[in-house]
Amino acid sequence: MVTLKTASSNSIKGDFRIKQMGWLIMVLFVSVSVMTLTGCSKPEEPAVLAPLEGEINDLATDFIAALVAEDFEAASGYFDAEMLKAIPTDKLEDLWEQLLSQVGPYQNEIGRKQETSEGYEVIIATVKFEKSPLNIRMVFNDDHRISGLFFQPAEEAAVETPAYEVPNYAAPERIEEREIVIGEGDWALPGTLTLPAGEQGSGQEWPLVVLVHGSGPNDRDETIGPNKPFKDLALGLASEGVAVLRYDKRTLVHGQKLMAEVPELTVQEETIEDALLAVDLAMAMPEVDASRVYVLGHSLGGMLAPRIGVQSNGLAGLIIMAGAARPLEELMLEQMTYLAGIDGDVTDYETANLKEVKEHVARIQDPKLDPKTPQSQLLGVPAAYWLDLQGYKPAEVAKTLDLKMLILQGERDYQVTMADFELWKTALSGRNGVMLETFPELNHLMMTGSGSSAVGTLSTPEEYNVAGHVSVEVIQAILEFVN
């Protein structure tokens, strides 16, 4: 039978800080946050645009100066052919205006570094805006033109980001961690195995949870500003006898390579393949009880958990944490509409932006969507990605699985809402081994928050500027389910 629980409103309170990250796969997170992959592939016709003269570092400085001066014609002049297709001048202007609406006016650059990634030269400028510091990550090709552009939370700005503190429900003396690798060859990913301490070599076999990220090029801790929700989960669960495996996401470790070699990217390459490899690795570990391996998917990871369950053999169950049950494009439009009205004033720019988003969503939902449709007409995401998800109903797929399931939802989550939870509840009603639990005070990261916006009582981006931890109630719910 289904167990439906609503946590007490007297949850343990704390101060929490979130900076929601998003990849262009979910354009809603362009508004919610400040991490956008706008393009990252080598130009198909490199002879079309002449190489730029000068040092890459100087070109990066000039590009940022053009953005700040709102000279978007000059700024787009630094792009390669593929970037110009994906983000013509007017789109670059829209992106910059939307960014400033979230983080406030540009103030100054406070740091810079250069690195090489997948054969590309990358300049990362840490820039201070009024509300939040960002890293502007510029990927340059051999012609010294920009072939990739990211706006990311600035972890380098230590003065702005407090150091991570271990949650009070974790006991570091009762855990052990070691580095592992998911997969092999070109797509290998570094990760961490967190185990209960003291029993290795004694034949003890622990239950284990594999953590699957939300959207965006997330690290193994799902770091968002000063918050590390996956690290919270790993430390909290391992302290109580449940091992955890987590890893850096493919779009983080191999971002440029992925865009160059997998132009028709889908969630299979972005998320599912590596989750399956992680499950297989976990089941082969001598410290792990192979019959008690679970997948915990957060956000996009929760949405894809049923597909992981379909493709995996021997899973004990799924834990779906703030998992979307509705189509991504619907959530994008819903979130952007919510954010536009969050201050009680929908500007002309926001109205026009929402109108354009609705047009993109209509194309995405067209059953006759042409695979060759430019991603600039599909919320910046390749048609292959949308075609792969067309018709996918996570809750209905979950209903077909003979697996234990735990569905967790924060009632103040504006990114994946109670409407999604109701779909999970309806689809799984009457199923044995299914537990559903909601938490009145928790937001998308299962962290406590308070306050309201002009349009309701859901969480707001401003609330995400306080550091904290995954609620102990969530840890307890997972322990109860696994054990």
**Nearest alpha carbon to residue 140 among 159, 119, 160, 162:** 119
User: Mean per-residue pLDDT for 38-59?
Assistant: 66
Q: What is the mean pLDDT of the chain?
A: 85
Query: Which residue in 248, 388, 413, 420 is the catalytic one?
Result: 413
Q: What is the pLDDT of residue 368?
A: 96
* Catalytic residue status for 444: yes
Is pLDDT at 376 greater than 90 in this prediction?
Answer: no
| Residue range 266-321, pLDDT digits in tens | 999 999 999 999 999 999 999 999 999 999 999 999 999 999 999 999 999 999 99
Angle at 90 between CA 103 and CA 333, to 5 degrees: 60
Environment class of 173 (CB within 10 Å of its CB; exposed 0-12, middle 13-18, buried 19+): exposed
**Highest mean predicted confidence (pLDDT) among 79-93, 321-335, 449-463:** 321-335
Is pLDDT at 82 greater than 90 in this prediction?
Answer: no
Query: Which residue in 299, 312, 453, 471 is the catalytic one?
Result: 299
CATH number at residue 223: 3.40.50.1820
**Which range has the worst mean pLDDT, 43-57, 174-188, 254-268, 330-344?**
43-57
Residue 358 within a domain: no
Is pLDDT at 469 greater than 90 in this prediction?
Answer: yes
**Highest mean predicted confidence (pLDDT) among 73-87, 92-106, 196-210:** 73-87
Is pLDDT at 334 greater than 80 in this prediction?
Answer: yes
Residue 210 within a domain: yes
- Give the predicted TM-score (pTM) of the model: 0.77
Q: Is residue 435 helix, strand or coil? A: strand
CATH number at residue 134: 3.10.450.590
- Structural tokens at position 203: 């034949």
Query: For residue 426, how many C-alpha atoms fall within 13 Å in the half-sphere facing its CB?
Result: 10
Query: Which residue in 213, 254, 444, 469 is the catalytic one?
Result: 444
Pair 167, 312 in one domain: yes
Pair 431, 290 in one domain: yes
Pair 189, 297 in one domain: yes
**Dmax (CA) of the chain:** 68
Residue 397 within a domain: yes
Is pLDDT at 344 greater than 60 in this prediction?
Answer: yes
User: Mean per-residue pLDDT for 199-216?
Assistant: 83
Q: What's the domain range around 172?
A: 2-16+163-325+393-482
Pair 7, 36 in one domain: no
| Residue range 427-465, pLDDT digits in tens | 998 899 999 999 999 999 999 977 666 667 788 777 766
* Catalytic residue status for 76: no
